[in-house]
Structure 1
Amino acid sequence: MVLKMEVLSVKRGDITYQLCKRLVRSLMDVFILDELRDRPLSGYDITLLIRENFNFLISPGSVYSVLYSLEREGLIRGFPRGRKRIYRLTSKGERALHTVLNMNRRILHLISRILPEEDSEDLNTKFAYETFKEDS
């Protein structure tokens, strides 16, 4: 369950926009696994969720490429439903997501040690909130 974030207010040609978009693309598989933990979704649904959460238009081809890769690895399973294909998280996918989320906690802890104290406190507050949201 990814938390709804403040909409990014960077210009399309801006380097910050490009860096943020690259980060979203590189973590798309984790985002997809996390969203599928909550409910089954189609590729179109996932494309809309990426748009809502990150304010980026990701091509359907990029999303489906990740979905096919996750399905080949056995982390998700797709089922036909009418003209759509609906994806569900498998138990192998749940284990993989759990491992990634634990690694995320370690990375956030490391970053909080590197950042100046005031930035570190903000990060720890966000981390505590995200952990609370995951556990509830």
Structure 2
Amino acid sequence: MGEKKGIINMLIIKFLSDSPSTGYELMKKIEKVLGRRPSSGTIYPALKSLERSGLIESCREGKRIIYRLTTLGMEHLARYKEMKKEYLEWYEGMRKAFGEVFPTMKKDIDEMKLIFTYEVLSPLRDIIAELRDSGVDEREIRKVIEEARRRLKSLL
């Protein structure tokens, strides 16, 4: 389960780079990403460990403890970004491992990707048809789509 702990730590560091937060706020943010809220028995030991490592710091504000990323934590986050290729390879390995353990998982994941693609592209297809029907020049439509494609690719 070391991978789970590593992911929680990565998310804590990422979220604290956005803004200081309480442990409870971090649990809610992580829940949005993972689809389930990590327990306090997971979050608070992770916060203590990150604080002992010098990656985060805490201060009491009234009854609340606010966690902030340190300079060392920011450097650590930058290393995460530099290691993107390694994380993607790890992710692919995990996906294959789960595919072996749960044979239908690959099919299930592929279906989820298709559903997402359909949900995103279907309204776009409808807008394009509406633009064509209203007489908008197809070259103009293609320019807009190409610009969107370039912007999406820049997110990689």
Fold shared, TM-score > 0.5 on shorter chain: yes
What are the equivalent positions in structure 2 for 1:1-136 lying under 5 Å apart? 23-108=3-88, 132=155
Paired amino acid for 1:75: L
TM-superposition CA deviations, 1:65-94 (whole Å, max 9, x none):
000000011100101011110011001000
| Counterpart secondary structure, 1:77 | strand
Q: Partners in 2 of 1:68 and 1:130 — Cα distance?
A: 38
Q: TM-score, normalised by structure 1?
A: 0.62
Aligned position for 2:137: none
2:16, 2:53 → 1: CA distance? 15
Question: Displacement, 1:108?
Answer: 2.5
Give 1:103 deviation, angstroms: 0.9
Q: Give aligned pairs, total.
A: 101
Once the two structures are overlaid, the 10-residue window that deviates more, 81-90 or 96-105, is 96-105
Q: For residue 108 of structure 1, what is the amino acid of its counterpart? A: L
Which structure is richer in relative contact order (CA contacts within 8 A, separation 6 or more)? 1
What is the SS of the residue equivalent to 2:25?
helix
CA–CA distance in structure 2, aligned partners of residues 59 and 66 of structure 1: 11
Report the aligned-residue RMSD.
3.2
Which segments of 5 or more consecutive residues in structure 1 lack a partner in the other structure?
A: 1-18, 123-127
Q: 1:107-128, CA deviations, whole angstroms, 9 ceiling, x for partnerless residues?
A: 437878xx9xxx9xx9xxxxx9
Partner of 2:104: none
Q: Distance in 2 between matches of 1:130 and 1:38?
A: 23
2:70 maps to amino acid: T
1:90-109 per-residue CA deviation (whole Å, 9 max, x = no partner) reads 01000011112211234437
Q: Please give the alpha-carbon distance, in whole angstroms, between the structure 1 residues aligned to 2:29 and 2:13.
A: 13
Which amino acid in structure 2 is aligned with residue 132 of structure 1?
Answer: L
- Bigger mean CA deviation after superposition, 100-109 or 34-43: 100-109
Which one-letter code corresponds to 1:66 in the other structure?
Answer: A
Higher helix share: 2
TM-score when normalising by structure 2: 0.54
Q: Percent identity?
A: 29
In 1, Cα distance between equivalents of 2:153 and 2:73: 20
Name stretches of at least 5 consecutive residues in structure 2 with no aligned partner.
97-109, 114-150
